[in-house]
Amino acid sequence: MTIMKMIIAIVQDKDSNVLSNEFIEADIRATKLSSTGGFLRSGNTTFLIGIEDERIEEVMKLIEKTSHTRGQFMTPQVNMDVSMDASAAYPVEVQVGGATVFVLPIEQFHQF
């Protein structure tokens, strides 16, 4: 009996097409979902991958290779109830991107 895992990988939209192509080349089947979230509520892509246990490292390396962190400027929201100094309205650079990956056990796997 083959041991299977479910990988849930959330990547920034900017990295999703390259990662999707890497999965195709490596014969890794993935379901691609559009998602939104994170600190900046930016567009993400969530990949659902049912994979044999022995191929998890291969998938993780592809995700790591294609998912990059990058700096992005954002202007913090100003709360009018609290007195703030003049620098509060200036843009600040934050790190976005990369990948968030969950690896879960699968009780059963059926493909019809």
Confidence of residue 112 (pLDDT cuts 50, 70, 90): confident
Q: Which CATH class is domain 4-77+88-105?
A: alpha beta
Which DSSP string do the residues of 1-59 spell out, in sequence order?
---EEEEEEEEEHHHHHHHHHHHHHTT---EEEEEEETTTTEEEEEEEEEEEGGGHHHH
pLDDT of 59-89, one tens digit each? 999 999 999 876 666 666 666 655 555 555 6
Task: Measure the CA–CA gap between 75 and 77, rounded to whole angstroms.
Answer: 6
- The answer to whether the Cα torsion of 106, 109, 65, 16 is positive or negative is negative
pLDDT at 18: 95
pLDDT of 7-52, one tens digit each? 999 998 889 999 999 999 999 999 999 987 765 567 889 999 999 9
Contact at 8 Å (CB) between 33 and 48?
A: yes
Full-model pTM: 0.76
> Is residue 4 predicted with pLDDT exceeding 70?
yes
Nearest to 59 by CA among 102, 95, 97: 102
pLDDT of 87-110, one tens digit each? 556 777 666 667 899 999 999 888
Domain ranges of the chain: 4-77+88-105
